[in-house]
Chains A and B, each alone.
Chain A
């Protein structure tokens, strides 16, 4: 799920579409809403309300009865539905196919981007050195 929420709807759809798996029916119509984002006072203390974020959610039931839930930041309802579908399919005998054909390529793409960003960030780390003056 942490992989799917970082992917775009088009990406998931392309990878999932290639597998010709059951679409399932909407148990909950994909919808937009808000969540209140909570922080902690001092970073580690009691909670406080920071502000809201848009989210989309959906629930899908497959012909076999498996139910999947999809939640994601943003207002892309199609993406929430695709995540719900993946969640449901992961409970079927297609789980391996989802893992290797959908999640694995996304994981690679996301890990590469994160690594690139981490390397760019690391180059801005300060290396202190000392100048010795006089004797």
Chain B
């Protein structure tokens, strides 16, 4: 027999009403606008777009507001929203070499063509709290200088010219690109699926894995060949128009990690590489992604795969924070019946234990 217990509707309604009140906070304080979130908490917006796997600044800002600043909740909201829209297709693969660069650094070559461009970065700040920001701030306008027209080739392209670094896996534009939003994961997974998984994976999880691989759990201490951030033009082949149409620019961060060598009897040793790409200015995420991408190539490169960061099933099955939070947080839901059955079992076991304990002295006495 199954008996459904009902109730709680009124409590739930009132809890949601209380949530809306708590979200608004003290009503004498002006309400935050989506523009303010998008403009002034822009890196939080970027993170929600990256892990929500949906590029839309306004929606990500709305999600952050609705989630009271809980970014994982906001990511969840964005993922749920994307399921409501039809997909028109896939864009042409974007060309990060043609990026309108706003930041670009390399830790491998001082004098890279195009130069080291710091852009808007926390690097070299002293990490001291700035009390001036507690009041309304009016920072001075940025300095300007004459821009150069010099091309900014990817550092890996420069190394590649001399054969010092392995090439990227060859582009075959007719090949089917794996999509984990359409097909369930299966292992072993190819690199396209691994990168898609890492691109939407939790920044904290990937950061820890990347760190573990640097510390020796999967020997992986690379150079940051290049990190670049800027805007790239998106193009989409429109079936109805019959040609590729521009969709507009999106902001991206790309990381190229350069790792130690691989060679064989037939191939000269060369650097290997890991790749990271993320929406917005998401440098830590793109770097962690590139480190984990390289660690996950252990099998392909004939390395021993013993560390967690090298185990694709472990990494890919646990990187998604929406899945992770769903399973962890489901423990909050009523488990009254499950718990009753465990309680019944435990009582029986304790009864058995007590019965045996009571029998034991009698047996001894009989002997």
Binding site for B on A (CB under 8 A): 1-2, 5-6, 28, 31-55, 57, 59, 69, 71-75, 114-126, 128
Contact = CB atoms under 8 A, between A and B. Distances in A.
B55 A51 contact: yes
Contacts of B95: 40
Contacts of A126: 115-118
A84 to B, nearest CB: 10
A27 to B, nearest CB: 9
Interface of B: 49-50, 53-56, 58-59, 82, 85-97, 100-103, 110-111, 115-120, 142-148, 154, 156-157, 167-173, 175, 177-181, 191-193, 195-196, 199-200, 233-234, 236, 238, 240-241, 245-250, 254, 256, 273, 275, 277, 279
A52 B49 CA distance: 9
A94 B155 CA distance: 46
Contact of B55 (A33, A45, A52): A52
Contact of A119 (B147, B167, B238): B147
A53 B102 contact: no
Given A40-B94, A46-B175, A118-B147, A54 B55 contact: yes
Contacts of A38: 90-94, 177
Given A48-B191, A69-B245, A33 B88 contact: yes
Contacts of B179: 36, 49
A52 B170 CA distance: 24
Given A54-B85, A71-B247, A121 B177 contact: no
5 contacts: A34-B86, A37-B90, A38-B91, A119-B147, A120-B142
Nearest to B279: A51
A47 B93 CA distance: 6
A36 B148 contact: no
B238 A47 contact: no
A27 B116 CA distance: 49
Given A42-B256, A51-B200, A35 B54 contact: no
A-B CB proximity, top 7 nearest = A45-B168, A42-B168, A53-B55, A48-B192, A119-B144, A51-B53, A5-B248
Given A5-B246, A47-B173, A123-B145, A37 B91 contact: yes
Contacts of B144: 116, 119-120, 122-123
A117 B99 CA distance: 13
